[in-house]
């Protein structure tokens, strides 16, 4: 089957992407690792001994970064609808974040203790219809925020990928009501043409 022009362009971009090469060299599962590394370097989110919830974790590069930084005394709990190969020290549940029973299983891993940091690089399967994709993405990030509101300890932080669309301002308002400070981050590893940015909610009220 002949490849479409867009998939050829994506393949070309992927092959020549310096972050893809760096990920292969450094042993990370995807280039997304460098987004979290850059944000963490600036904002010092990952510290030894903390508990981190990674929502939308597959293939696992954010969990790799997180477990490396929190160390043996820390915990990383990961969740994704897609399978994820095991990472030493990371507890993973495969399931749909939108389903109550999957979320309940994940919450059980917390053993009744609050989380220090929630990170979410979650994105829906893209259909190519920007209206549908933005609505799906908005729903997922709202669920991630609800999880953070329920399970972050006071003073905890929340880092989430969002796409700038019609739902953005309402989500930003909800973030500002939950956290004392909300910052936006566009790491260098984010592709220029992507409308994604990361919102960082610091210090849950």
Q: Mind telling me the catalytic residues?
A: 161
43 annotated binding-site participant: no
80 annotated binding-site participant: yes
Backbone angles phi, psi at 32, to 5 degrees: -60, -20
One-character DSSP codes across 91-110: EEEES-TTSHHHHHHHHHHT
Sign of CA dihedral 153, 157, 160, 166: positive
Contacts (Cβ under 8 Å, ≥6 apart) of 94: 79, 80, 81, 82, 83, 84
First-last CA distance in the chain: 54
- In 3D space, the residue among 56, 25, 45 whose CA is nearest the CA of residue 141 turns out to be 56
Contact 46, 144 (CB under 8 A): no
112 annotated binding-site participant: no
121 annotated binding-site participant: yes
From residue 40, alpha-carbon distances to 157, 187, 198 in Å are 12, 10, 12
116 annotated binding-site participant: no
Residues tagged in the binding site annotation for S-adenosyl-L-methionine:
60, 62, 80, 96, 121
Residues tagged in the binding site annotation:
60, 62, 80, 96, 121
């Amino acid at each position: 089957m002949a490849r479409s022009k867009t998939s050829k362009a994506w393949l070309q971009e992927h092959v020549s992407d310096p972050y893809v090469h760096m990920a292969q060299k450094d042993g990370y599962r995807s280039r997304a690792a460098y987004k979290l590394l850059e944000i963490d370097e600036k904002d010092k989110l990952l510290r030894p001994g903390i508990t981190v919830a990674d929502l939308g974790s597959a293939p696992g590069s954010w969990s790799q970064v997180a477990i490396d930084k929190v160390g043996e005394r820390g915990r990383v709990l990961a969740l994704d609808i897609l399978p994820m190969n095991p990472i030493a020290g990371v507890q993973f549940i495969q399931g749909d974040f939108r389903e109550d029973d999957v979320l309940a299983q994940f919450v059980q891993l917390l053993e009744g203790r609050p989380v220090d940091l929630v990170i979410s690089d979650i994105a829906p399967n893209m259909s190519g219809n920007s209206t549908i994709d933005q609505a799906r993405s908005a729903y997922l990030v709202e669920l991630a925020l609800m999880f953070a509101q329920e399970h972050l300890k006071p003073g905890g932080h929340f880092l989430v990928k969002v796409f700038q669309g019609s739902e953005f301002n309402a989500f930003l308002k909800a973030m500002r009501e939950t956290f004392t400070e909300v910052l936006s981050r566009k790491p260098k590893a984010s592709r220029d043409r992507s409308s994604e940015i990361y919102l960082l909610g610091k210090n849950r009220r």
